[in-house]
């Protein structure tokens, strides 16, 4: 091996042996911090949506596409609706991490604030989810002797589908019937899933159908443009919004469905709960942040019932707001995520406080490294001075030939000592001192 390379490797070995303990301490502290903070989110998350043809399912697909771009796989689980989604979130064995939930859909405490529910947290309100009550024009003519229905009390005696078990609409309609003093026994209430119910409705076997959904729903789009089907105009929408805090009064503008065909031909007043995202308490903060960014991308634009920037919002949340969601509403996406890949920006964002703390601990300790390195290098030279002094003191007491042999042995060993060039003066000084001792021994021999 060339001498220069050998010296370089030895210097590196010395540096590693000196600084190695401090590097090890830093690595251990960093590993413990990584384990405690868990900055990397899971690569898979389960999102409970709704029926296959509903708005929840459509939005779920958009969320999945957004998170896929950041390396997260979203498994979509179709359900009957908001009530079933809440049951899945409360069931620890369901595997569902996050779900769409309709405001006021809680079967256990419908319409009441649930901020004290510690196991679940809200990501805020996402979009209006109007209550669409479609009825057949011929049914109105037959049952109320008029082409239009303008009050829920006129529906007595009708056959109405209010949604399958597990959706949030049955609980909502029960409260609306109660507020209007309508005896449910005067109605024929059906609980069919959405698609079969729409088929029966179009065939005339059902007089009216109710579901709550965003206008992106395929069924809503189709029924709004079907001849002979009318949309119930909620004339008391403002009164409902005052009576039920989870409801808002919204308006479907004239012509918004089809400007050329002037559909609808007039403004239609509706009532709408607000859809939210609800997550388990233990959901990783980085996932919450990604879902918030997806929500802004999917729901942040203008729509039939909102202006651009109205959603997502922290207003109207029935449950406590997740800390990461509060951060998003306060400051938007993290600064680093605007310029770096998600995984790197998230790692820095969650670890920077720990990194600064570790550096603050290691800086004082690091001041010990240069003196230790210097001591390690110089000790290779200085340890020979003890033997050299012993030989010098033994001059005249032991045979000169024996002392000379020992001195030659020391000199031969010193020839094999390798130290960095910056410390070469120490080595040459040792050699000169060996020569000085040899001259002294030669002087003793001459005198003899």
In tens, the pLDDT along 289-340 reads 999 999 999 999 988 898 899 999 998 778 889 998 999 999 888 877 777 7
Mean pLDDT, residues 365-391 taken together: 78
Q: Label residue 100 by pLDDT band (50, 70, 90).
A: very high
Q: Is the pLDDT of residue 76 over 90?
A: yes
Give the model confidence (pLDDT) of 379-416 as tens digits: 878 888 888 888 888 877 788 888 888 888 888 888 87
Identify the pLDDT of residue 229: 95
How far apart are alpha carbons 282 and 385 in whole angstroms? 66
Let me know the angle formed at the C-alpha of 237 by 235 and 241, rounded to the nearest 5 degrees.
Answer: 160
Q: What are the b/e assignments for 90-104, b being 16+ CB within 10 Å?
A: eeeeeebbbbbbbbb
Q: Is the pLDDT of residue 19 over 80?
A: no
Give the model confidence (pLDDT) of 240-262 as tens digits: 999 988 899 999 999 999 999 89
How far apart are alpha carbons 208 and 231 in whole angstroms? 10
How far apart are alpha carbons 131 and 272 in whole angstroms? 6
Mean pLDDT, residues 67-71 taken together: 90
Give the model confidence (pLDDT) of 343-357 as tens digits: 777 767 776 666 677
Q: Is the pLDDT of residue 1 over 70?
A: no
Q: Are strands 44-48 and 73-77 parallel, antiparallel or unpaired?
A: parallel
Identify the pLDDT of residue 440: 82
Q: How far is CA 332 from CA 100, 286, 295, 335, 389, in A?
A: 22, 14, 12, 8, 73
Q: How far is CA 408 from CA 227, 288, 326, 404, in A?
A: 114, 75, 78, 6
Q: Label residue 112 by pLDDT band (50, 70, 90).
A: low
**152-156, 316-320, 349-353, 370-374: range with lowest mean pLDDT:** 349-353
Check if the beta carbon of residue 103 is closer than 8 Å to that of residue 130: no
How far apart are alpha carbons 171 and 140 in whole angstroms? 25
**20-24, 282-286, 328-332, 444-448: range with lowest mean pLDDT:** 444-448
Q: Is the pLDDT of residue 367 over 50?
A: yes
Identify the pLDDT of residue 167: 84
Q: Is the pLDDT of residue 375 over 80?
A: no
pLDDT > 70 fraction of the chain, expressed in percent and rounded: 87
Q: Residue 239 CA to chain centroid, in angstroms?
A: 39
Give the residue with greater pLDDT, 240 vs 363: 240
Q: What is the pTM of this model?
A: 0.67
Identify the pLDDT of residue 3: 56
Give the model confidence (pLDDT) of 172-184 as tens digits: 898 899 999 999 8
Dihedral, 96, 101, 107, 112 alpha carbons, nearest 10: 130
**128-142, 183-197, 394-408: range with lowest mean pLDDT:** 394-408
Identify the pLDDT of residue 8: 61
Identify the pLDDT of residue 363: 73
Indicate the average pLDDT of the chain: 84
Q: Residue 262 CA to chain centroid, in angstroms?
A: 43
């Amino acid at each position: 091996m060339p001498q220069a390379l050998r010296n370089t490797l030895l210097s590196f070995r010395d540096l590693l042996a000196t600084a190695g303990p401090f590097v090890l301490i830093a690595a251990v502290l960093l590993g413990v911090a990584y384990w405690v903070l868990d900055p990397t989110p899971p690569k898979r998350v389960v999102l409970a949506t709704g029926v296959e043809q509903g708005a929840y399912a459509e939005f779920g697909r958009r969320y999945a596409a957004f998170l896929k771009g950041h390396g997260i796989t979203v498994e979509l689980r179709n359900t009957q609706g908001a009530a079933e989604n809440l049951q899945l979130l409360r069931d620890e064995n369901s595997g569902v991490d996050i779900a769409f939930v309709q405001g006021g859909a809680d079967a256990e405490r419908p319409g009441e604030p649930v901020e004290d529910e510690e196991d679940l947290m809200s990501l805020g309100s996402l979009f209006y989810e109007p209550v669409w009550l479609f009825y057949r024009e011929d049914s109105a003519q037959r049952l109320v002797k008029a082409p239009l229905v303008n009050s829920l009390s006129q529906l007595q005696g009708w056959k109405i589908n209010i949604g399958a078990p597990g959706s949030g609409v049955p609980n909502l309609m029960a409260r609306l019937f109660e507020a209007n003093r309508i005896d449910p026994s005067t109605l024929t209430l059906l609980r069919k899933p959405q698609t079969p119910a729409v088929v029966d409705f179009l065939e005339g076997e059902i007089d009216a159908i109710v579901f709550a959904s965003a206008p992106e729903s395929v069924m809503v789009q189709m029924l709004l443009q079907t001849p002979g089907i009318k949309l119930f105009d909620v004339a008391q929408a403002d009164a409902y919004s005052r009576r039920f805090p989870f409801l808002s009064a919204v308006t479907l503008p004239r012509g918004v469905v089809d400007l050329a065909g002037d559909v609808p031909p007039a403004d239609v007043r509706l009532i709408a709960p607000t859809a939210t995202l609800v997550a388990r308490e233990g959901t990783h903060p980085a996932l919450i942040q990604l879902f918030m960014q997806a929500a802004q991308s999917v729901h942040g634009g203008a729509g039939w019932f909102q202006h651009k920037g109205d959603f997502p919002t922290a207003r109207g949340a029935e449950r406590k707001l997740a800390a990461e969601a509060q951060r998003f509403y306060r400051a938007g996406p993290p600064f680093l995520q605007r310029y770096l890949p998600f995984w790197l920006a998230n790692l820095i964002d969650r670890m920077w406080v720990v990194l600064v703390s570790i550096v603050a601990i290691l800086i004082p300790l690091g001041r010990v490294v240069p003196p230790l390195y210097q001591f390690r290098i110089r000790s290779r030279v200085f340890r020979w001075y003890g033997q050299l002094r012993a030989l010098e003191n033994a001059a005249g007491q032991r045979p000169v030939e024996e002392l000379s042999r020992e001195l030659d042995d020391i000199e031969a060993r010193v020839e094999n000592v390798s130290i960095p060039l910056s410390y070469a003066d120490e080595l040459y000084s040792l050699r000169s001192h060996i020569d000085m001792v040899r001259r002294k021994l030669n002087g003793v021999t001459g005198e003899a």
